[in-house]
Structure 1
Amino acid sequence: MDQHKWWQVTWLFISIIMFLSSLVQTLQTYDHDSLEDFFCKQVNKCIKNPKTGIFYNTSLPSNYTGMKVRAVRMRTSSFYIRGLNYSLLNVPPRVVPQPNRKRMVILYENFGNWSSHYFNVPTNYTMVAPVFGFVAYTSSKNAFIENEKMNLVTQGKPILIHFHHVRLHGKNDTPICVKFLENGRLKFNNMSKPYVCEAFGTGHYTLVIPSSLYNKSLFDIWWVLGFVIGFVGLVLLVLVLVTLVKASKKRKIKKLEKNSENGEAFDTFWIGETKMPLGSMVRTQPVLIENDS
C-alpha cells in the first residue's frame, strides 16, 4: 500500500471519529452554577468605576461565543418605586428586593446557542427559545457584584420576560413557559400573552413545545446524517479495498523478482504498470548425427 494514500485513509477515518466524538459531547450538560460564578467574576473584572442606572455589556472569552451578559446597578429604593424596563425584562413598581441593601445589581444572561448545554428539558418537550436568566446581587462601593444573591418579591403584578425574536408558524405550536428550578426540576406556566413569560422571582426561563411537533423534522435530520455517514463509510471501504488489491499485486511482483534473482537471470519487460520477467530468445542449436549405414 502506498504510504501517502494509507495516511490519507487513516486521517479521514480519524476525522470521522473525532466528529462523532464531538457530536456526543454536545449532548452533555454543563454546570451552570459554576458558569454563574464565572459571570460574576468576569463582570467585576471588566467593569471599573460603574455608574448607577447604566447597562454594561460584559466581554466573554471566545469559547463562550453566543452568550451575552449585561449588568446594571441601581439603588434599591429607586428600583422599588420605579421598577425596571429592559428590552427583554419588565419589572413593575413595588417589587421588594431582599435582603434590604442600599444598592443592588441585576445580571442579565442570554445563553444563546449554549442553552441546551447547560439546561435540560424532558424528552417529550423541545426548547424553542434561548434560555434567558436574570439574577439579583447585592452591590457596594467596593464591589460591583457581591457574592450575596437577592430575592425579588412581587406584590400582585408579575415580572414579564419578552421573547421578541421567537416566532413559530404552526397552528398547534403554542409555546409553554418553563422556569428552571434547583436540582434539575422544572416549573411549567401557560402564558397570558404570546411569547411572554410571567415570573414571580429571579431565575432562568425559556419556551418549549411538545416534541411531537418536531418529530418529522428530527427524523429528516437523522436520515440525512445517517446517509452522509453511510456514504463516507462506503467510500472508506472502497479506498481500503483498492489499496489492499494494489498492495497484493506489488507483493506478488516483488516475490517474482526475488525468485528471479536467486535463479536464472531474466530480462524484464513492462505491460502497463506491471514489470514481468522475459526469457532469452536464444534456442539450443541442433546437432546433426551422421548415419554410418
Structure 2
Amino acid sequence: MISFASFSVIFAILFTTIPSVKSQSLPPTGEISFSPRFLDSVLQDHAFRAISRHRPRTGVVYDGNVPSNLTGSTVSALRLRSGSLRKRGFHGYKEFDIPKGILEDPYVERVILVYHNLGNWSSVYYRLPGYSFLSPVVGLLAYNAVDLTAKGLPELDLRASENPILVKFETLGVSPDGVLPKCVFFDLFGGVVFDRVLNRSICSSETQGHFGIVVEERNQSPIPAPPKVPEYPIAGGESTGGGGGRKKGWWIGGSVAGGVLLAAVLAILVLWVRWCSGRKKIGKMKDAAEGGAPLAVAAVGRAKVPVAMGTRTKPVLENEYVS
C-alpha cells in the first residue's frame, strides 16, 4: 500500500506538469534546402560528360557545362594516372597547385579530378552566418576514372603525403579595414575549419574538399527575437501581465501540495483500516478462548494455577495380561 501512495505522488506531479508543456513551432514551409552533397553528385555527372564527348586524353583539362539552374558556376575535369599524380603532381589546375606525393584511397589506376567554382552560388550552398565571402567557393574532388558514364560515384580519399595542396585565388573582394581575412575549408562530412591566409590570397590543405576566403562581419544588424511560442491555457483562463507567471507558479505549487496531501491521507486511512482489522481479530480470539471448557484450579504454594482433569481411561499395565 505504500507503493500505491508513492504512485499517487508521482501521478500528481506528472499531472501538474502537463499545462507547462509548450507547443513546438513548425519550420517554415517555404524554406528551400540546398544540399552541397547533392550538388557534388550533379557536377560530377556533368564533368564526366565533358570528357566522354571527346577522345579522352591524360593531363588535359576539360571544361563542362552546368545545368541552367546553376548558371554562374563552372565545372571541369582532369584525368591523370595515379602513378604520375603521385610522382609529379599537377600545377595550374585552375586555382589548384597539386604537389607530388598525392595518395588516393582506395587505389585506382586512373583518377579524375573534378573542379568546382560555385561563383554566386557560394553563399547559397555553403552558408557561414556572421561571415562574408571575399572569393567564390572552389572545390577539388577525386573519382575513379574507370567508367566515364557513371553517375553518383563515391569520392576517393585524396591526401597529400609531402607538401600541402595550394589554392591560389586570383581576385578577392575588398576586406574591411582592420579585419583579417580567413581561409575556410569545407570537408565532405559537413565540417568547417578556419585557417590563416598565406600571401594574402592563398589557402593550403592536405586533403580534398571546398575552399574559400571569408571575412568576419563587424556591423551586423541585430538578430530579431524569435516570436513567443504560445503556451497551453491553464485553469481560470490565460493570464496577462507580470502576474501571469506568479499565478501559474502558485497553481502548479498548489496542485503538487494537494497531490502530496491526498497521498498522505490515503496512507493514514490504510493504516487505520489495518489497525481496526487487527483489533477485530484479537477480539475474536478472546471470545473463542472464553467460550471453551474451563480448567480446574489448584493451589500450588501461594499461587493458584490451572491443572488438567484426571484421565477417564484407566491405564492398563503389561503384567495384567499375563495369566
Shorter-chain TM-score category? Answer: 0.5 to 0.7
Say what the alpha-carbon RMSD is for the aligned residues.
Answer: 2.4
- 1:95-144 Cα distance to aligned partner (Å, 9 max, x none): 212211110000000000011111111x222222111100001112x426
| Contact 2:100/2:162, CA 8 A, preserved across alignment | no
The aligned residue for residue 39 of structure 1 is 43
What pairs up with 1:109-148 in 2 under 5 angstroms? 109-121=116-128, 123-140=129-146, 142-143=147-148, 147-148=153-154
With over 3 angstroms needed to count, the CA separation of the structure-2 counterparts of 1:104 and 1:183, relative to structure 1, is: closer
Specify the structure having the higher radius of gyration (Cα): 2
Aligned residue type for 2:201: Y
The aligned residue for residue 110 of structure 2 is 103
Q: Do residues 171 (structure 1) and 186 (structure 2) align?
A: no
Structure 1: how far apart are the matches of 2:175 and 2:131?
17
Which sits farther off after the overlay, 57-66 or 131-140?
57-66
Structure 2: how far apart are the matches of 1:109 and 1:117?
14
Q: Choose which of 52, 57, 62 in structure 2 pairs with 1:51.
A: 57
The aligned residue for residue 98 of structure 2 is 91
Q: Do residues 151 (structure 1) and 151 (structure 2) align?
A: no
TM-score normalized by the length of structure 1: 0.59
Q: Secondary structure at the match of 1:93?
A: coil
Structure 2: how far apart are the matches of 1:46 and 1:78?
22
Shift of 1:85: 0.9
Which sits farther off after the overlay, 170-179 or 67-76?
170-179
Shift of 1:148: 3.5
Whose helix fraction is larger, Structure 1's or Structure 2's?
A: 1
| Contact 1:191/1:197, CA 8 A, preserved across alignment | yes
Q: Secondary structure at the match of 1:47?
A: helix
Structure 2: how far apart are the matches of 1:42 and 1:174?
36
Structure 2: how far apart are the matches of 1:152 and 1:144?
22
Structure 1: how far apart are the matches of 2:197 and 2:32?
30
What pairs up with 1:1-293 in 2 under 5 angstroms? 28-48=32-52, 49-86=55-92, 87-121=94-128, 123-140=129-146, 142-143=147-148, 147-168=153-174, 170-182=176-188, 184-212=190-218, 215=220
Q: Number of residue pairs matched?
A: 190
- 1:54-112 Cα distance to aligned partner (Å, 9 max, x none): 10010122221100000010000000111111230011111212211110000000000
With over 3 angstroms needed to count, the CA separation of the structure-2 counterparts of 1:59 and 1:191, relative to structure 1, is: same
With over 3 angstroms needed to count, the CA separation of the structure-2 counterparts of 1:29 and 1:205, relative to structure 1, is: farther
- Which structure's relative contact order is higher, taking Cα pairs within 8 Å and 6+ residues apart? 2
Which sits farther off after the overlay, 199-208 or 185-194?
185-194
TM-score normalized by the length of structure 2: 0.54
Structure 2: how far apart are the matches of 1:109 and 1:131?
8
Percentage of matched positions with identical amino acids: 26
Aligned residue type for 1:77: G
Unaligned runs of 5+ in 1: 1-24, 220-293
Structure 2: how far apart are the matches of 1:54 and 1:127?
30
Shift of 1:181: 3.1
Structure 2: how far apart are the matches of 1:201 and 1:110?
17
Q: Secondary structure at the match of 1:149?
A: coil
